[in-house]
Amino acid sequence: MNHDNYVIDDMISAKAIAARVESMAADISGHFENTEKLVVIGLLRGSFMFIADLVRELSLPVEVDFLETSSYGDSMESSREVRILKDLRGEIKDRDILVVEDIVDTGHTLNHVLQLLKSRKPARMMVCALLDKPSRREVDVKADLVGFEIEDRFVVGYGIDYAQRNRNLPYIGAVRFTG
């Protein structure tokens, strides 16, 4: 796909994403098989497609809630300053929670979110991320379950954007600037 000053190279197909989401959902369902209700917490905005597909594959009673954070704005670089733009609507104390992240990059956002959620004393917590870029990690944090480990490329699609564009792509693509 070609844009004004960049091209998007195919990286992970929609078919590969669907297969991995199904597999991850089976792992999550097994991990929380005895739960009364799993609170699935999506980190907006990038995780919305992933969380929608993931919860449809879970064989558990679920409640969905969202947190919105900001550390990028329209930039390709994290500011490392994480702000909570939208907090959870529901209570998570003594509840089983699954945190759903689109991509773990520097780790600052996930680390901040996990500290916040742990302070609210959930019964059990698991973190799943569609993508992980371990080469960029600046904070010692990791997801319990990762869809795909990727190299240090700026990616878009399947909910992930660049300056609010390309979220609607059904696949993950790598952005390559052309000039």
> Are the C-beta atoms of 72 and 78 separated by less than 8 Å?
yes
**Pairing status of strand 62-70 against strand 83-86:** antiparallel
Q: Catalytic: 74?
A: no
Chain position carrying tokens 């600052």: 108
Distance CA 46, CA 102 (A): 6
Catalytic residue, candidates 102, 105, 132, 161: 105
Catalytic residues: 105
